[in-house]
């Protein structure tokens, strides 16, 4: 209790101090410019049976690391049937913090395009795009467009003067950006502009992109604001200053007073101290939590290694020929199922789970330990699991005739069943469910009974699958629940 009160008191005084400083000293204005200027999805879908989403996630993880370090990044992930190319970049005038905020906003919105294999989003401070081909050197494309805002609302003479001012600005802005490595900002008589080429675009391609954007954006006149959203560059003008000061502008604040410098240094030192205090507290808490998790994990792994349910990951990997796609026999919401042959010649079904083992290894192993003891002629037998490898695996007895839905819904009528066989499946499935409800000390409510979860053995006798991760209920508990479960 004393520690809790001490922490609460410390946080309260720090909040008061920060509020005092905020009220007495000027802080710089920050704007990550996350207004969505353009959003575009393609129309092509990935080939069937490809792990496109996993490739997309892997590419985004790398891009996020690159942006964190260098404010930009480009990366490609290739597989047999499909590739993912990703490009991200912040405008050069953004601070690192604003860049990360802008990228985070773009990264959150862009997946609205999935599973389509192409998408791009222009925010006013950054750009993010993915596609199935290498577009890194691409400067223009048929999908390029302009985005114009509200009219100027002035007389024609004023409109004409505004257009001339913008024309002078745009020409100088384009030339400056090409010379200075793909970025420039300028102002001309109340018109402000920014030009930015993406870092993967060569210099001549940058010039071609900005020249075309310069020509196209003039169609926005006499609007107050216009943006050219191109594959290789971004061009914007406005009657309001929207960018941050950079070295290629005249710096009117170069003669800042010594008092301002001292205040800035003092605030920096204070901020560093506060951050160090909180960081030290957070690191200590995380260290203690990880230490406890490691202790719990060692206990579970000790019990697991002594259990007959333990399978080595390498053994199951070799048994399935390293998860050969030709050995894949099923796909469910929890994972993929492969046919495997153990060293003793026994054929088994191995399910690769989509979940993280570190967070739920305790609960997962305890449930496997419990379910593995359940035996019934109409239930698929759980033989064991592997939890020490890079992913969690479940090992089941192999049922050769696949699932009931392939007999009921086979359009080609290759697999058919007689009425006697159908009746046998109905009765066997009912007996399996009854055993789960009434034949155990703790009832199991499957909550996802469907034809694809009823497997058929060599005699077309039914076996209920996928009850291993169902909810365990005591004998005095009801199965009624307000939660949603099963298959949509």
Among all residues, which ones are annotated catalytic?
A: 448
CA 102 to chain centre: 16
Distance from first CA to last CA of the chain, Å, rounded? 47
Residue 125 dihedral angles phi and psi, to the nearest 5°: -120, -5
Contacts of 214 (CB under 8 A, 6+ apart): 170, 171, 173, 174, 228, 235
Whether the bond between 115 and the residue before it is cis, its omega within 30 degrees of 0, is yes
Q: Alpha-carbon distance 217 to 408, whole Å? A: 59
Q: Give the Cα-Cα-Cα angle 87, 92, 93 (nearest 5 degrees).
A: 140
Q: Alpha-carbon distance 342 to 446, whole Å? A: 29
CA distances from 236 to 138, 154, 201 (A): 20, 21, 19
Which residues is 396 bridged to in the sheet? 349, 382
Residue 467 dihedral angles phi and psi, to the nearest 5°: -100, 0
Q: Alpha-carbon distance 472 to 465, whole Å? A: 16
- CA neighbor of 245 nearest in space, from 26, 97, 31, 70: 31
Q: Alpha-carbon distance 225 to 222, whole Å? A: 8
Residue 314 dihedral angles phi and psi, to the nearest 5°: -60, -35
Inter-residue contact 86 to 12 (CB < 8 Å): no
Q: Is 58 helix (H, G, I), strand (E, B) or coil?
A: helix
């Amino acid at each position: 209790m004393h520690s809790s009160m001490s922490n609460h008191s410390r946080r309260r005084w720090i909040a008061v101090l920060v509020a005092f400083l905020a009220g007495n000293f000027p802080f710089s204005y920050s704007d990550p410019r996350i207004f969505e200027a353009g959003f575009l999805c393609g129309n092509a879908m990935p080939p069937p049976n490809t792990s496109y989403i996993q490739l997309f996630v892997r590419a985004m993880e790398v891009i996020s690391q690159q942006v964190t370090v260098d404010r930009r990044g480009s990366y490609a992930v290739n597989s047999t049937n499909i590739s993912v190319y990703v490009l991200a970049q912040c405008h050069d005038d953004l601070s690192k913090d604003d860049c990360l905020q802008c990228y985070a906003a773009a990264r959150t919105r862009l997946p609205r395009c999935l599973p389509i294999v192409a998408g791009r989003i222009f925010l006013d401070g950054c750009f993010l795009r993915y596609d199935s081909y290498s577009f890194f050197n691409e400067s223009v494309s048929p999908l390029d467009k302009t985005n114009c805002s509200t009219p100027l609302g002035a007389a024609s003479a004023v409109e004409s003067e505004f257009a001339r001012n913008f024309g002078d600005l745009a020409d100088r802005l384009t030339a400056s950006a090409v010379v200075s490595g793909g970025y420039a900002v300028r102002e001309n008589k109340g018109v402000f502009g920014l030009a930015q080429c993406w870092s993967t675009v060569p210099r001549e391609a940058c010039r071609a992109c900005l020249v075309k954007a310069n020509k196209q954006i003039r169609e926005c006149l006499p609007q107050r604001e216009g943006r050219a959203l191109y594959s290789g560059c971004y061009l914007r003008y406005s009657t309001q200053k929207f960018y941050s000061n950079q070295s290629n502008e005249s710096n009117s604040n170069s003669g800042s007073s010594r008092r301002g410098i001292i205040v800035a240094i003092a605030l920096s030192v204070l901020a560093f101290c506060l951050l160090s205090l909180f960081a030290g507290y957070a690191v200590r808490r995380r260290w203690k939590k990880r230490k406890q998790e490691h202790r719990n994990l060692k206990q579970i792994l000790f019990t697991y290694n002594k259990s007959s349910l333990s399978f080595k990951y390498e053994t199951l990997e070799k048994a399935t020929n390293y998860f050969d796609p030709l050995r894949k026999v099923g796909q469910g919401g929890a994972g993929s199922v492969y046919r495997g042959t153990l060293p003793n010649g026994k054929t088994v079904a191995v399910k690769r789970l989509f979940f993280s083992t570190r967070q739920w290894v305790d609960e997962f192993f305890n449930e496997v330990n419990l379910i593995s003891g359940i035996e019934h002629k109409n239930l698929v037998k759980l033989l064991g699991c592997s939890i020490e490898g890079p992913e969690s695996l479940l090992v089941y007895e192999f049922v050769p005739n696949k699932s009931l839905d392939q007999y009921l819904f086979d359009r080609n009528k290759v697999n058919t069943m007689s009425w006697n066989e159908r009746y046998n499946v109905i009765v066997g499935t009912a007996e399996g469910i009854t055993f789960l409800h009434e034949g155990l000390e703790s009832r199991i409510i499957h909550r996802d009974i469907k034809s694809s979860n009823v497997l058929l053995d060599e005699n077309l006798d039914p076996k209920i699958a996928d009850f291993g991760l169902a909810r365990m209920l005591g004998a005095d508990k009801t199965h009624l629940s307000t939660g949603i479960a099963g298959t949509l």
